[in-house]
Structure 1
């Protein structure tokens, strides 16, 4: 990858770099027909703009009149008052604002611009709508546990409907970063560790937000982020460096971005991290060669929050002016929050350090997406205070939140069929998440309100459980005086303990990297004390990442991963706890044995000394205290049924240009209906590039009545066997392939082999 980029010194040579650009192939591309062509009336605006007005179209800032908890979600900054920001907008110094305070704020700003600005170019209003607007859905990684991209499309559609009703044109979502180090707090924003699942959910979320037409008043523009490989941050430390091969970048991290762009996303966001020594915000290889030249992306790229300015602290830019030049020449069209483009782009053009043609091209892209959003036809199409209220938290939206919550939960363990519970039993609900309007919506919620969400005890009581006591026992990260004694007493007085423990909202999300992905010590002390009572325990885990479970939590007879489920949290959990529905979620990321295994992912390589299947052997790829495996792997999840996998049927060979059907019979031998996620994995045994021990290639979610069986078949083609060869081009080679139809990435399920023949 680094061989294809210009040197840093060359990138910093100002006018010299411009001269090089003018004679480069990139210069010729500018003359080609633009995929973002504008109507003549809008195109004419570019010729009328001053350089300052052009720079203004490339500058996006946080709303001075912020919405909800927006001001707490980003680093503190100083800026103009709301009136001052309106004056800047009217003067053409802003293209729009983000995370503002709803339709009234948008109306006042847009009205001022359309009445008082020289060129009457409408503002664009953006927001972080990550897993819901007013109706909050499960955090994205939880939603991915459903293994239902269609569910993600439907929740995104509702989020767009609500957000667009509040004046929002553009969301900074979906986050499609593959996350394989769960110490990284932002794992909660994506779809987990698997490339295929990441691609499917990226595309589904784009389609949900953008709908059938970007111009519709219930559609918002999606933004693919963070480009690129933010999920590979070293040590799982937020904002940290990324150092990886171009092979890994192209095989693992880039495919979900491309899937999102291919689905029609018209914007992308540069990531905070550097890749192999070059910050993404200043990386022309990423922004030009890959995104524009290879993928033919026609939309806009925006920096992350002050991402261009942060190249100074990273040691890649001398000052703000230098940072603006580097980011712009690298291909970042729009600057977020730093004001660097507004401050420096006009001077950079006048000095010859930035070609005006490039500025015009970025302005054209910005005006094109505003035109696609219908803002030139009607600047107020999404701004309607009455509509803002009528679209918010409808019965249908809340019902979908509850459905999504049910489908997101993952049953890790259920010894002795402890679940589902009898709602008539005496239940001791213990833990910091047993009750209260806190930590329900989850991280990265700008407009939702925990006070409107259903907490756990309320959900249980709504379901008809009347004999429920609640005892916190401990805080999330600190003990409570007398808390454990009270919890033990409550457990002793009950038939069963439901232990609601895990992470708070503040422990997941941006800037919440953890060195140990375990349940905090005060809660572990609580769990150990309650376990000594001998009462049966159901652990409800609240989490935004996979966890390394220990002690009494790991050993509890039943463990249900409940993530952060949003508006209908308590009701959704009660539906599963009491058996109104069978759990159907599957882990989109592995739960390792220990924190020290991170980064961990199921599709690792075997190495030349693979770990044995049986007892430990010396000098093998294995930790001293844990196997080279997960405690609960990707794809794992139980149901209330008793699902069995019959023998696999697979042809002995696949013709080079043919396809084969691989099948197995799946049976529910239990007394309860269930849904099983049947997964197809392959392994290429020998190749010119070593291949993972397993790769997910397909899956089906199958509904099974008690005693029912279903013949589940998958069609596999040669294209699905491809990988990047030694020349980084797609290839496939004849040879033997293992294939599994299985309930998880580590389960044997039904196993067979076939030979690909030329």
Structure 2
């Protein structure tokens, strides 16, 4: 605790300290508007004497709006402690980048850092101090709508992207005027909600939690994220927001997090619904004892004001601890020196800055697009080809995705708009909208198709069908879109599908009906330009899938890094056993597309893979020399991926686990030699006693351009 914080605490009344722990939306201030991102409680009524003691505001931004609220607040505040302004800036403020799942698909940590830097710069100019990002929850179930906000199913990819997001948002410490504080969420395990249903229970062993889920939170905290947000779900049988073991023993002590812990929207009040608190006062006690510093919109901590004289010494101590952490954050952000820090109306509306940010957004969007099929090298298309463009996503600006706070769909250019400038002869009919089963203008479409060389069908979901509170029982395209695709297939013309989505979808039928397919996780402000550049070959498709795409709904959850069983199907087939093995009787175990899948236009392959040493000690590096060869006439990029499998251990281990990746450019008709290096300490795993250590013994290191076609080397750690 710094001197300025100590002095302030000594001056503050108990009521003023409690006020610092309360967060409300900006609409509690006269004439202000705020984005509402959760249910509103009837408890939400503030008297002026409380309003001018609160510590932070969420959901409000814009230089004039923030300045007005801050000025009004300071004019009424006895100690002149400035407000913190926070918001959900997830993948862009005004300039919208691909959704985080799309940024993960770049397999390029630099892209995550760039996206976060731009979001921070625009947000800071608009008066924000804190973003509720990154979301680092590991997700294996595409039914959960917030999968779009994650970076996928792999622990290592999550850890790398979490670290870069924090660095991008916060910059070099102390945080300057062009950056904002990051909030790691949701602690913990929120991505494992049962049945993929929003706000549902999470039930997993602590071993599973530590082995696969904890690492990304730890990575973000080690990157010095200033805040952590509690999750809505239970963990180890106790709701996270009131879970003292989770928040104090694991987060505070084990991970050594000493920043601000904030609840999610109304989460303290929801302890009553969970059945662990009888009323709001009891919920308040649970949250305080768990170390929750800021109460977001449940008005639980306001109940402390009703009986200040009766508060115990322990509660007063907890209030002091939380208030000091909030004040310390304000001090670190420089708000005591300048309550209007970062706020810059000129920068907020600078056209040159806007253009530079859009250039960044285009770069990230291009790298996020994944080509999963390209029969007969239909793509890229040439300028002279006659193109028929159709589908519900062809002529819409709805490319931004959920949590695109200040992004403007009406100002976002459509795929049709951009493609008209890239093809000499292009015709268009929407054909069908997102959910209608009736095809419009079929006679016209038939004529357009007959005159075309290739059909491009832009399919997908509206942005409203992914994000918070959008769980789906069956993550598929609407049946009308599939039926329309079937009718187009009857013309026997080459079909290219573009699928714009916020989650992995079951695309089995689509895959069968098309010749080429691009998957775009809501690509953002420059999404249409990025897709057009990929279609025309101006840019190379270099994205890779950060999540497995199921073949069938019954496979969910399905993920690449699963554990083997006592009766693996591979072992059964080797021994002519096809019944008593782990399999379905009505379909394949295999997904439609695997984690790490993705194609490019250049013909790049691994021509040689050599492990440097097969026997290593714990202090050494695993080194594999890989030669990538490009046999084609165009330069291209690929993602080299390194996986580890531990053959024998005290606990079970995944069949493969990503431990290294790098995006690499290989010139046309040329080759490149890459040295992949993995520290042996990356092989550490969680044991039965929940300790983490490296087992001696035999391992496999596998190298490939996806997670299935791998070159394997044996390795011994001794």
Matched residue, 1:19: none
Q: Deviations over 1:513-543 (max 9, x none)?
A: 1111111111111111111111101110101
Q: Are residues 676 and 198 of structure 1, via their aligned partners in 2, closer, same or farther at CA, if it must alter by over 3 Å? A: same
Matched residue, 2:231: 271
DSSP-derived class of the 1:394 partner: helix
Matched residue, 1:192: 152
Q: 1:126 and 2:70 equivalent?
A: no
Q: 1:74 and 2:35 equivalent?
A: no
DSSP-derived class of the 1:715 partner: strand
CA distance in 2, matches of 1:301, 1:368: 13
Matched residue, 1:359: 319
Assess if the C-alpha contact under 8 Å between 1:176 and 1:202 holds in 2: yes
Structural mapping, 1:248-327, within 5 Å: 248-327=208-287
DSSP-derived class of the 1:534 partner: coil
Q: 1:617 and 2:617 equivalent?
A: no
Assess if the C-alpha contact under 8 Å between 2:640 and 2:661 holds in 1: yes
DSSP-derived class of the 1:182 partner: coil
CA distance in 2, matches of 1:440, 1:358: 45
Matched residue, 1:427: 387
Matched residue, 1:494: 452
Further displaced range: 652-661 or 97-106: 652-661
Q: 1:39 and 2:3 equivalent?
A: yes
Q: Could you tell me how far 1:38 is from its partner in structure 2?
A: 2.0
Structure 1 stretches of 5 or more lacking a match?
Answer: 1-36
RMSD: 2.2
Q: 1:734 and 2:693 equivalent?
A: no
Q: Could you tell me how far 1:376 is from its partner in structure 2?
A: 0.4
CA distance in 1, matches of 2:690, 2:279: 37
Matched residue, 1:527: 485
Q: Are residues 484 and 367 of structure 1, via their aligned partners in 2, closer, same or farther at CA, if it must alter by over 3 Å? A: farther
CA distance in 1, matches of 2:43, 2:270: 18
DSSP-derived class of the 2:349 partner: helix
Question: Structure 1 length normalisation: TM-score?
Answer: 0.90
Q: Are residues 702 and 91 of structure 1, via their aligned partners in 2, closer, same or farther at CA, if it must alter by over 3 Å? A: closer
Assess if the C-alpha contact under 8 Å between 2:489 and 2:513 holds in 1: no
DSSP-derived class of the 1:478 partner: coil
Q: Are residues 500 and 79 of structure 1, via their aligned partners in 2, closer, same or farther at CA, if it must alter by over 3 Å? A: farther
Q: Could you tell me how far 1:452 is from its partner in structure 2?
A: 1.9
Q: 1:584 and 2:554 equivalent?
A: no
Aligned residue-pair number: 713
CA distance in 2, matches of 1:115, 1:378: 15
Assess if the C-alpha contact under 8 Å between 1:69 and 1:447 holds in 2: no
CA distance in 2, matches of 1:79, 1:478: 42
CA distance in 2, matches of 1:111, 1:431: 50
CA distance in 2, matches of 1:725, 1:248: 10
Assess if the C-alpha contact under 8 Å between 2:135 and 2:186 holds in 1: yes
CA distance in 1, matches of 2:663, 2:439: 47
Assess if the C-alpha contact under 8 Å between 1:139 and 1:565 holds in 2: yes
DSSP-derived class of the 2:682 partner: helix
Q: Are residues 683 and 129 of structure 1, via their aligned partners in 2, closer, same or farther at CA, if it must alter by over 3 Å? A: same
Question: Structure 2 length normalisation: TM-score?
Answer: 0.95
Q: Could you tell me how far 1:421 is from its partner in structure 2?
A: 0.7
Q: Could you tell me how far 1:655 is from its partner in structure 2?
A: 3.5
CA distance in 1, matches of 2:353, 2:402: 19
Q: Are residues 176 and 656 of structure 1, via their aligned partners in 2, closer, same or farther at CA, if it must alter by over 3 Å? A: closer
Structure 2 stretches of 5 or more lacking a match?
Answer: none
Q: Are residues 90 and 112 of structure 1, via their aligned partners in 2, closer, same or farther at CA, if it must alter by over 3 Å? A: farther
Assess if the C-alpha contact under 8 Å between 1:165 and 1:384 holds in 2: yes
Assess if the C-alpha contact under 8 Å between 2:159 and 2:215 holds in 1: yes
Assess if the C-alpha contact under 8 Å between 2:622 and 2:679 holds in 1: yes
Assess if the C-alpha contact under 8 Å between 2:206 and 2:236 holds in 1: no
CA distance in 2, matches of 1:128, 1:366: 19
Q: Could you tell me how far 1:392 is from its partner in structure 2?
A: 8.7
Assess if the C-alpha contact under 8 Å between 2:153 and 2:546 holds in 1: yes
CA distance in 1, matches of 2:217, 2:121: 24
Structural mapping, 1:316-395, within 5 Å: 316-344=276-304, 347=307, 350-352=310-312, 355-390=315-350, 394-395=354-355
CA distance in 2, matches of 1:465, 1:79: 58
Q: Are residues 322 and 741 of structure 1, via their aligned partners in 2, closer, same or farther at CA, if it must alter by over 3 Å? A: same
